[in-house]
Structure 1
Amino acid sequence: MSIFNEPTFWFALISSASAGYTVISNLFVRSRPVSISLNWFSYLDGTLIVSFNLYNPSSETRSLMNIDFLFEDKTFQVTDYPDVIKISHSGSSKAYSDEIPINISPKNSKSVIVTFKGLQSRIIAAENLEFTFVVGKKSRTQNIRVTQKLVDPEQLNLRLNRRFQ
């Protein structure tokens, strides 16, 4: 009798193939990078306020360790937490930036707001914004096309207040 006629051979072959597929797919899912997209940005009194969507498709927790903003050959570091974002000059309406590092759970997304100080108003005319993101031990520079600019302080106030509801 041939080995190919034995049911145990076929069960062993199918289970080995299934185990191999599981190992390869887990390695692939574990190594997927964090997806980062720009929600909106606003420039207010020398401060760039940026809202990002972060999505972790991996099966492991990822940490966004640092964000740098690159503009006209200068690098701007993310402002330390807590940075008070004053929307009105009277100070009656304010919000706070998010703390860096940011932990992103597996298969989850997170919306964050960060600020960069010491910029000039020419940033409003930019169509692309360039950021360097440090996720874990890996660093990557990403040029992000601007889709939504919030110039009106009332729009900014609405977005920041909606976040806390």
Structure 2
Amino acid sequence: MKTKLAAFFGNPYVELACRLFLGGLFVYSCVHKIMHPADMAKVIYGYKIMPGVTINVLAIMLPFFELVCGLCLVFGIWPRSAAVLINGMLLIFIVAISYNLMRGLQFDCGCFGFHKAGEFSDPRELLVRDMVYFGITLVVILYQGTRKFTIKTKNRCLILNKTAA
């Protein structure tokens, strides 16, 4: 017999809500990064973790990676794979934030916009937020039921499947 918690997380509409929330969040968060790659490079540099030669490439590629993963979640295209990739990114973000918190560095996370000079993000809030997102993404990864509103590939054609088989 299922517990109430298992029944809640096994509900296809809960999984759909998690997919739409996280997918929409990643799509929203990448827009300003795509529009302002130089500012994104400054944010990555502010973490003081990456070697200088990789910063510009990462500042250009990471937002597009976030966009693709977010859109896959929203439209239900390989949702489990997209959620695993997003969880990988979140894990990297959590490690980077934790590392800078331990070093006592102040930095702008650049997640949903860029701060003005001298303004910084609170790393403890960022950690809690990213851990919550990590947990929400686990709902999508661990979901075993029939997914709602997904796009499946069959015979190399995309098919809208409202109840997913």
TM over 0.5: no
Kindly indicate which of the two structures has a greater share of residues assigned to helix.
2
Q: TM-score range by the shorter chain?
A: under 0.3
Kindly indicate which of the two structures has a greater share of residues assigned to strand.
1
Q: TM-score with structure 2 length normalisation?
A: 0.25
Q: TM-score with structure 1 length normalisation?
A: 0.25
Tell me: higher relative CO, structure 1 or 2? Use CA pairs within 8 A at least 6 residues apart. Answer: 2
Which is higher, the Rg of structure 1 or of structure 2? Answer: 1
